[in-house]
Structure 1
Amino acid sequence: MPARSSYDYAVIRVVPRVEREEFVNVGVLVSCPQAKLLVAGIELDPDRLHALDPSTDIEAVRLHLQAIERICQGGRDSGPIGQLPERARFHWLTAKRSSIIQMSPVHTGRCLQPEGIVEHLLERMVRVAKPRS
């Protein structure tokens, strides 16, 4: 039987008006040290954000979310935080902030295939459920 891998994840949220504390889940951030995996899966739905605040600057939000993806990838184009070890980047990205982009508390899970966990979490935490027919 294949060994299960432990992973940590946080849900990426956009809070268009921080004072109202309303948010839309737009992605997940996953760290699996055993698989050397640090990845952000992001699916931005501008209509859902505009439902909370029609003045939300979608392009600015998109740029900030792309920065999260670059930090996860690491490398020269990811800035100083992207140069840190993967686990340190995960902790930096999940640190509490009072800004338009926020992370949920960190949760832990176990899986057989770490490469499929992002898709699983996007389906459960981000995507709008399809109506039953």
Structure 2
Amino acid sequence: MEREEFINIGLMVFCKHQKYLRIQVEIPDEKIRLLATEFDLSQLKINVDAFLKICSGNKDGGPIAAFDMAERFRWLTAVKSSSLQTSRPHSGLSVDLDGTFERLYAELVL
């Protein structure tokens, strides 16, 4: 967005050791409309759908979805992505990846 205002619409967690890559997205249409009345929500939804397919390795996600998990994560979190702007990945430790995912999603997205 031109004013450098951002909204967290999702979370992605990756753990190479556990072979874990999970993404969840919730698009807050009304909140986005308040910040940018002419924002193309349909294009955002198309881009998010592509991210979901690539993350899951869905064959409908195109050639990038066929990459191994680590490569898909690197591609999805690339700084110069033209489809969605993601924040820089943050490292951390967890013994319960699903629990950590749920906690972070509640704190950062909802």
TM-score w.r.t. length of structure 1: 0.76
For structure 2, the 5+ residue unaligned runs are none
Q: Please, which of 26, 38, 48 is the counterpart of residue 31 of structure 2?
A: 48
Q: Please report the RMSD computed on the Cα atoms of aligned residues, expressed in angstroms.
A: 1.5
For structure 1, the 5+ residue unaligned runs are 1-16, 128-133
TM-score w.r.t. length of structure 2: 0.90
Are residues 1:64 and 2:25 paired?
no
Q: Which amino acid aligns with 1:84?
A: F
Are residues 1:96 and 2:84 paired?
no
Give the total of aligned pairs.
110
Q: Percent identity?
A: 35
**Structure with bigger RCO (C-alpha 8 Å, 6+ apart):** 1
Write the deviation string for residues 90-119 of structure 1: whole angstroms up to 9, x where unpaired: 011111126462011110111111122321
| Residue 23 (structure 1) shift | 1.0
Are residues 1:31 and 2:14 paired?
yes
Q: List structure 1 runs of 4+ shifted beyond 3 angstroms.
A: none
Structure with the higher strand share, 1 or 2: 1
1:107 aligned residue: 90
Structure having the higher Rg: 1
1:14 aligned residue: none
